[in-house]
Chain A
Amino acid sequence: MNPEQLQSIITRIAPEAEFATEGKQFPTVVVAAPFISKLSETLRNEAGFDFLFCQSGLDYPDHMMVVYHLRQTSTGFEFVLKAKISDRQNPEVATVSHIWRTAEFHEREIYDLFGIVFTGHPDLRRIFLTDDWKGYPLRKDYSDPINLIER
């Protein structure tokens, strides 16, 4: 697998994907959130990206991101897939927990701390915080006058 092959696989499904390799540690691909469902299946089953070694949420002023760090264990090739969620008020993206089982916990964590809803997730509940917690702490506009010290 090289970045060109990866690009051809991804543009087949998501033609508007943005690629970046220059000056990056890993090749980075940004796609719109609705493509994730189809793309993740293809990457896992056809391209052999079998190990999701990190999944994280990112909050920007006008959009949110879910970042998938993927590895092909047969070759060691790694790249970063980013799902851009434009609707910051009601962020939603399809789950990948049936494809990479490790995502089940990671998505619960992202839901807990960012409030991103993963559609199709088997058990989407808060994982660290209590069920009656208000708000999503890792969002940049989160405020909690009691527990958070402003600097």
Chain B
Amino acid sequence: MQLEELTLISKEGNLETTEYFINMGPQHPSTHGVLRLVLTLDGEIIRKVEPHLGYIHRGIEKMSEADSYRQIIHLTDRMDYLSCHINNEAVCLCIEKGLQLEVSDRVKYIRTIIDELNRISSHQLWWGVMGMDLGAITTFLYGFRDRELITDIFELTCGARLTMNYNVPGGLMWDIPNGFQQKVKDFVAYFKLKLPEYDQLLSENIIFTERTKGIGVLSREDAISYGATGPTGRASGFSCDVRKTTPYMAYPFVNFKEITADEGDSLARYKVRILEMWESLSIIEQLIDNIPEGEHLATTKNVIKLPFGEFYQKVETARGEFGVYIVSEGKNIAYRVKYRSPGFSNLSALDHIARGCKIADLIAIMSTLDFVIPDIDR
């Protein structure tokens, strides 16, 4: 075909191109783990995104059917390792629900404080990595600098920095150490000064806002239908904060706002997470000076047996609604354990919101959906 003819066809809009496939991942820095996406492309425009999962599938649900109730707690922090404490808490709350065991107020307060520290540290890591995905190395250093202080506090409580196992059925493994409150207060004061830096670096950056505004829009109706929860759902105007809808632990005692936005685009998801960090700081401030006296661990039997029945517990992790569904037949091991992970449902919306975007936009969308792959694969 002659060049003139080609130009003519393309001017009339009749030029047909062949769709082609490209593999993104499993080893791709911006998939934050081993997630493989098969993209169907028309030029640079995404026509379809097909996630291929299972690279870190460890069969945690099957393992939970063979281990005792105390043992399965240690599997859940390996799922969403950035919300390790919150995941463990979900299992503990579910077991406590089965045992009809009420933990002391002291436990409730401490668990809530660590939950919120966990949420902040997860959002800090997300913020740092998000900037790096979009080409800003500096944010990574800033995010990890501040996150280090929280992992230090975690180390004080139970010795672990990443996959901490501080929760046990009935309370906490140990009481909080000396100087814990002062360390947390120091961190809150420090981070209140540093959080505005996050806005200066990224939120008000014109390159960043241009790359995220109006990109990957998820409507409220679709968010509910796809089961997108957490900051992803709330950025679409779906108020799904479990801390508000079914309060657990010390959340009924504190004042905080549920952050929502209406736009549903990548920038809205970004802003929701930044504002959530402020709310988390406020929750910690309300609790840290008022930790009541009491026991840190209720006495439980050596072998925990849940009564015959079904127990469901949901909590709000940094990524959304995490649910634990235990079916018990009265034995010391569960008959069936199902983990409803937020990332799995959020990922199912990816194909829908990424269609029609460019490849570079997909990176921004994936960063703001904030995936942790072990949480998806389980």
Binding site for B on A (CB under 8 A): 23-26, 28, 50-54, 56, 58-59, 67, 69, 73, 76, 80, 100-102, 104-106, 109, 113, 127-130, 137-138, 151
Which one of A80, A100, A128, A138 contacts B54 once the chains associate, using CB atoms below 8 Å?
Answer: A128
B32 within 8 A of A: no
Query: Contact between B323 and A53 (Cβ–Cβ < 8 Å)?
Result: yes
- What is the interface of chain B mostly: helix, strand, loop, or mixed? mixed
Is B142 in the interface zone, CB < 8 Å from A?
no
Among A23, A73, A151, the residue within 8 A (CB) of B224 is: A73
Give the residues in chain A near B57, CB-CB below 8 Å. Answer: 128-129
CB–CB A104/B348 < 8 A: yes
Q: Give the nearest-CB partner of B54 in chain A.
A: A128
A25 contacts B227, CB within 8 Å? no
- Knowing A26-B312, A128-B377, A129-B57 are in contact, say whether A102-B225 is a contact too (CB < 8 A): yes
Instruction: Tell me the bound Cα distance from A76 to B349 in angstroms.
Output: 23
Q: How far is the CB of A59 from chain B (nearest CB, A)?
A: 8
Q: Are A101 and B327 in contact (CB under 8 A)?
A: no
CA distance A23 to B310 in the complex (A): 10
B62 sits at the interface (CB 8 A)? yes
Instruction: With CB as the reference atom, state the residue of chain A lying closest to B227.
Output: A102
Q: How many B residues face the partner with a CB closer than 8 A?
A: 38
**In the complex, chain A residues whose CB is within 8 Å of the CB of B238:** 73
Other contacts beyond A101-B349, A138-B62: 9, CB < 8 A: A25-B312, A53-B227, A54-B312, A54-B323, A69-B323, A101-B348, A102-B345, A105-B348, A129-B54
Question: Quick one: which of B53, B323, B347 has the most chain A CB within 10 A?
Answer: B53
Most buried by B among A56, A100, A106: A56
Closest to A56 in B: B338
Q: Is A137 a contact partner of B62 (Cβ separation < 8 A)? A: yes
Q: Name the B residues within 8 Å of A23 (CB-CB).
A: 309
CB pair A100 B227 closer than 8 Å: yes
| Residue B245 lies at the interface, judged by CB distance under 8 Å to chain A | yes
- Cα distance, A24 to B327, chains bound together (Å): 12
15 pairs from A and B in contact (CB 8 Å cutoff)? A24-B309, A51-B227, A53-B229, A54-B325, A54-B338, A54-B340, A56-B325, A56-B338, A56-B340, A100-B227, A101-B349, A105-B345, A105-B347, A113-B61, A127-B54
Q: How far is the CA of A106 from the CA of B240 in the complex (A)?
A: 20
Q: Which residue of A is nearest B52, CB measured? A: A127
A25–B225 touching, CB < 8 Å: no
Mask, B317-344, CB within 8 Å of A = 1, is: 0000101010100000000101010001
CA separation between A26 and B65, bound complex, in Å? Answer: 23
Nearest opposing residue in chain A for B351, CB measure: A104
10 smallest CB-CB distances across A and B, nearest first, come from A102-B227, A128-B54, A56-B338, A128-B57, A105-B348, A54-B340, A101-B225, A101-B226, A102-B345, A102-B226
The verdict on B66 contacting chain A, using a C-beta distance below 8 Å, is yes
- Once the chains bind, are B312 and A102 in contact (CB under 8 Å)? no
Please tell me if the beta carbons of A138 and B327 are within 8 angstroms of each other in the complex: no
Q: Smallest CB-CB separation from A102: which chain B residue?
A: B227
B105: chain A residues within 8 A (beta carbon)? none
The reply on B279 being an interface residue by CB < 8 A is no
0/1 interface trace, chain B 157-187, chain A, CB 8 Å (1 if under): 0000000000000000000000000000000
B97: Cβ under 8 A from any A Cβ = yes
| Chain B residues with CB under 8 A of A25 | 97, 310-312
- A18: shortest Cβ distance to chain B, in Å? 14
Q: Kindly provide the distance from the CB of A127 to the nearest chain B CB, expressed in whole angstroms.
A: 6
Q: Which residues of B sit under 8 angstroms from A104, Cβ to Cβ?
A: 348
Query: What's the minimum C-beta distance from B277 to chain A, rounded to whole angstroms?
Result: 25
Q: Is B285 an interface residue (CB 8 A)?
A: no
Which of A58, A100, A106, A127 contacts B53 (CB under 8 A)? A127
Give every chain A residue within 8 A of B321 (Cβ-Cβ). Answer: 53
A102 touches B59 (CB 8 A): no
Docked complex Cα distance between A102 and B222 (Å):
10
